Structure formats: structure tokens, C-alpha cells
């Protein structure tokens, strides 16, 4: 009994005998390839012609088999876009010299249909036969019409470019607007300083003389004092408005040791810290690249706010930092009165002030936190706050890490 496996499929022997003839095999294969979607071809590299092309070519391009036969060796040269034809001869064909058998090469090209319309084909080829000398001779390949996909990609690209142009135009417009606002704020605050100083000194001198001569009643003197306080607040506001407009235009970046910087800030605030009986806790802060004076302003403002909005319990301010891959996150946490939830989203807006009965000071321009956030953003970082009323506040801000060769 033979060891060969027997075909158990009904009529298998008949089918086998039916396809044993060469002509029948070829017809059988041709029928399969003609029914396949897209174009199937066998291309002879040496002779630069197709030795086989299925009916899919007519379905895709509109050219009949007779018209294809008439074009002969010039088929691809005549129908393919010249740039793509030269690119394939220059870049694709040479790859078959060193290509391992079984490796698929994929490329795209433009082909002109019989209706004189350019379409896109996605071709996938594989080396089929080498010459006796080992050079690539024939390749087998398939080609699919991807025109709709390419059109969709081009439409998406046009839409993306249009959006980028709109964003760029809007960004430029906002930049010009910001520059104009900064210039206006600078000019306004700078030009107001001198007349305001004159008014303040004049009212102060007038009040002093009136007190000496007892020319005004107590109520009138109190009104003069209120006016002087208002003038001082206006001077402070103009000074801070001027500082806000200068952020980003007058900055000098250098390596800043934040631990040394914090020590300087705490020295300057020593009297306020002692008066508030505050305990400032801190650990070794890292070095960053930034504007020393601006970063000093950030620490000073946040610590001053913690002192200003302290509660009845002894104030504790904890200053720490967290390490991540590309940035440092600084945390300034206090156990003060906290911030009402309704004020959190407005906290960093210009001229916004917290009016809290537990605040130990009513002074403030409402610009300080806006300046701090602007400084941090100018340094490439972010600033935010987490707080609950009566539970204290934690202010966070990030600063980028320095390059390794800058860290000493």
C-alpha cells in the first residue's frame, strides 16, 4: 500500500487530472488572477516589459489588452508620470540587486488612464527570478488604486496647512496686541509716576502744615489721610503695573541657586516673619536658569501673601520641591486662612484681591500674583494653586531643569 496521502475530497482525482495539463494550469491560474482585485503583473527588468498583465489593468486604467499590446515595451513609460518612472528606475530597481528573496518592495506612482486622468497606484513587488549571473530578472507585483486615499490625504494636508496659517496669523496678532498693551502699560505707568509723586508730596506737605496750624478739623484730617493712603496705593499699583509690562522684555538669564535666593528673601522679610511669629520650613532647593530678580519676586510675593493671610494659629510655611524628568516643581504651603473656592479661578487675574476678614493686611494692588505667574510663564513654567477655605493654601510653580553641562 502506498504511503502517499490520499485525497478524500469528492472528485479530487478528477480535479487533479483536469489541471495536470500545462494549458489548463495556465488557464486556471489566469482565471484566478483576473478575478483578483487590482492589477497583477510580472515585469522583466532586463527587457523592461510586462510578460504578464491581468485584466485588472483594464478595469483600473481603461486600456484594453489590445491597446496594451500595441504599446509593448513602452507601456509603463507612456502611462506613468515621468518623474515617477525615473524615480523607480533610479531608486527601486537597483534594490533588487542585493535584495533577499521573499522581501517585498512597496512604492507609489502616478499613472494616466485612458480618460487622460492621473490616478495613484500603490505597488508591491517581489523578486521572482534571477539570471544565471545572479542579477534580478523578473519581479511579480500587485497594484491598487489609492487615488481616493491620496486625495483625502492631500485635502487633510491643505486643511492642516490652512489651520497652521490661521494659528500663525492669530498668534502674530495676539503677539502684536500683547506688545501694544505692554507698551501702553509701560508708557501709562511711567508717565503717571511723576505727576502722581508731585500730587502725593503736595498733599502730604499740605496735610503736615494743616496739622501744625490746626487749620483742619479731625474729620478733615482723617479725609486727608485717606487721600494720602489712596495715593500711596496708586503709586504701588503703577509701580507694579510697570513691573508687569517689563517681564519678558528686561530679563537677564543666569544660573540661580534657589536656596541662596530664598535665604536672601527671608533676610529681607525678617521683620515681617518675626512680627507674624511665623516658622519658615525649607530644604535644599535646586539651581535653575532664570532672571534672579524676577524669581526673587516670586518667592517674596508668595511668602508675603502667606504672612498676610495667616490664621489665628501659629503660621507655618513649608517650602519644598519635587523632582521630575524635565522640570522642578516648587511648593509653598501654608496653614493660613485658605482661599474661597469661588476665588480660585480669578486668583491670578489682574487687580483681583482677596477680601477676607481674617487677612492681617488690607494693602495690596491685586497685581502681585499676576506678575508671579507671568514671570514663571516667561521662564517656561506653570503656576497654580490648591486651597480650601480654612485649610491653608499650596502654591505650585515649575521651572525647567538646566542642561547637564550647566549644573556645577
Q: What's 251-307 look like in SS3?
A: CCEEEEEHHHHHHHHHHHCHHHHHHHCCEEEECCCCEEEEEHHHHHHHHHHHHHHHH
Whether 395 is in a domain gets the answer: yes
User: Cell 478595469 belongs to which residue?
Assistant: 59
Whether 128 is in a domain gets the answer: yes
Beta-strand relationship, 393-400 and 327-334: antiparallel
Q: Is the Cβ–Cβ distance between 397 and 330 less than 8 Å? A: yes
Beta-bridge partners for 396: 331, 384
Whether 31 is in a domain gets the answer: yes
Beta strands in 45-117 (DSSP E): 49-53, 104-112
Burial-class residue 362 by CB neighbours within 10 Å (0-12, 13-18, 19+): exposed
Provide the CATH number for the domain around residue 275. Answer: 3.30.565.10
Whether 263 is in a domain gets the answer: yes
One digit per residue, pLDDT tens: the chain, 408 residues? 444 444 444 444 544 454 455 455 556 566 666 666 789 888 888 887 888 888 888 989 999 988 988 888 888 889 999 999 999 889 988 888 887 777 889 999 999 999 999 999 999 998 888 888 888 888 888 999 999 999 999 999 999 999 888 888 888 877 776 676 666 666 666 666 677 777 777 777 777 777 777 767 777 777 777 777 777 777 776 676 666 666 766 667 899 999 999 999 999 999 999 999 999 999 889 999 998 989 999 999 999 999 998 888 899 999 999 998 899 999 999 999 998 888 888 888 876 666 544 455 555 567 788 889 989 998 999 999 999 888 899 999 999 998 765 655
Whether 69 is in a domain gets the answer: yes
Provide the CATH number for the domain around residue 76. Answer: 3.30.450.20
> What is each CA distance from 261 to 126, 296, 321, in whole angstroms?
68, 6, 14
Distance between CA atoms of residues 230 and 224, nearest Å = 10
Q: What one-character DSSP code corresponds to residue 9?
A: S
Confidence (pLDDT) at 257: 95
Distance between CA atoms of residues 153 and 149, nearest Å = 6
Please give the backbone phi and psi of residue 123, each rounded to the nearest 5 degrees, phi first: -105, 140
Confidence (pLDDT) at 285: 94
Split into its structural domains, the chain has a count of 2
Whether 402 is in a domain gets the answer: yes
Which residue segment(s) compose the domain that 385 sits in?
250-406
Q: Is the Cβ–Cβ distance between 30 and 42 less than 8 Å? A: no
Among residues 82, 101, 100, the alpha carbon closest in space to that of 90 is found at 82
Which of 130, 145, 160 is a domain's end point?
A: 145
Confidence (pLDDT) at 296: 92
Which of 84, 112, 145 is a domain's end point?
A: 145
Whether 215 is in a domain gets the answer: no
Whether 370 is in a domain gets the answer: yes
Distance between CA atoms of residues 48 and 137, nearest Å = 10
Which of 145, 175, 198 is a domain's end point?
A: 145
Amino acid at each position: 500500500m502506498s504511503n502517499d496521502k490520499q485525497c478524500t475530497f469528492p472528485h479530487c482525482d478528477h480535479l487533479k487530472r483536469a489541471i495536470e495539463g500545462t494549458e489548463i494550469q495556465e488557464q486556471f491560474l489566469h482565471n484566478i488572477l483576473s478575478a483578483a482585485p487590482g492589477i497583477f503583473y510580472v515585469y522583466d527588468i532586463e527587457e523592461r516589459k510586462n510578460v504578464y498583465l491581468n485584466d485588472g489593468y483594464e478595469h483600473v486604467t481603461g486600456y484594453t489588452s489590445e491597446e496594451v499590446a500595441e504599446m509593448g515595451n513602452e507601456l509603463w513609460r507612456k502611462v506613468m508620470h515621468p518623474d515617477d518612472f525615473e524615480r523607480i528606475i533610479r531608486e527601486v530597481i537597483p534594490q533588487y540587486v542585493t535584495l533577499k528573496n521573499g522581501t517585498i518592495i512597496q512604492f507609489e506612482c502616478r499613472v494616466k488612464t485612458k480618460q487622460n486622468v492621473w490616478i495613484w497606484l500603490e505597488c508591491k513587488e517581489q523578486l521572482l527570478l534571477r539570471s544565471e549571473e545572479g542579477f534580478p530578472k523578473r519581479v511579480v507585483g500587485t497594484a491598487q488604486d489609492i487615488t481616493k486615499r491620496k486625495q483625502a490625504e492631500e485635502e487633510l494636508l491643505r486643511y492642516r496647512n490652512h489651520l497652521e496659517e490661521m494659528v500663525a496669523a492669530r498668534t502674530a496678532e495676539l503677539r502684536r496686541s500683547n506688545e501694544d498693551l505692554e507698551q501702553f502699560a509701560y508708557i501709562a505707568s511711567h508717565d503717571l509716576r511723576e505727576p502722581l509723586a508731585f500730587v502725593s508730596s503736595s498733599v502730604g506737605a499740605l496735610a503736615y502744615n494743616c496739622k501744625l496750624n490746626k487749620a483742619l478739623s479731625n474729620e478733615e484730617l482723617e479725609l486727608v489721610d485717606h487721600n494720602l493712603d489712596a495715593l500711596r496705593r496708586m503709586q504701588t499699583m503703577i509701580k507694579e503695573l510697570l513691573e508687569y509690562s517689563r517681564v519678558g522684555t528686561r530679563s537677564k538669564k543666569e544660573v540661580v541657586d534657589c536656596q541662596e535666593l530664598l535665604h536672601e528673601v527671608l533676610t529681607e522679610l525678617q521683620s515681617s516673619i518675626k512680627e507674624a511669629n511665623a516658622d519658615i520650613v525649607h530644604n535644599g532647593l535646586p539651581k535653575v536658569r532664570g532672571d534672579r530678580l524676577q524669581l526673587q519676586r516670586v518667592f517674596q510675593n508668595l511668602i508675603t501673601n502667606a504672612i498676610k493671610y495667616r490664621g489665628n494659629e501659629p503660621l507655618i510655611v513649608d517650602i519644598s520641591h519635587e523632582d521630575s524628568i524635565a522640570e522642578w516643581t516648587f511648593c509653598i504651603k501654608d496653614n493660613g486662612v485658605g482661599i474661597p473656592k469661588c476665588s480660585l479661578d480669578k486668583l491670578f487675574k489682574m487687580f483681583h484681591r482677596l477680601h477676607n476678614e481674617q487677612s492681617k493686611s488690607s494693602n495690596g494692588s491685586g497685581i502681585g500674583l499676576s506678575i508671579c505667574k507671568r514671570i514663571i510663564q516667561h521662564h517656561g513654567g506653570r503656576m497654580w494653586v490648591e486651597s480650601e477655605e480654612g485649610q491653608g493654601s499650596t502654591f505650585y510653580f515649575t521651572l525647567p531643569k538646566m542642561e547637564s553641562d550647566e549644573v556645577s
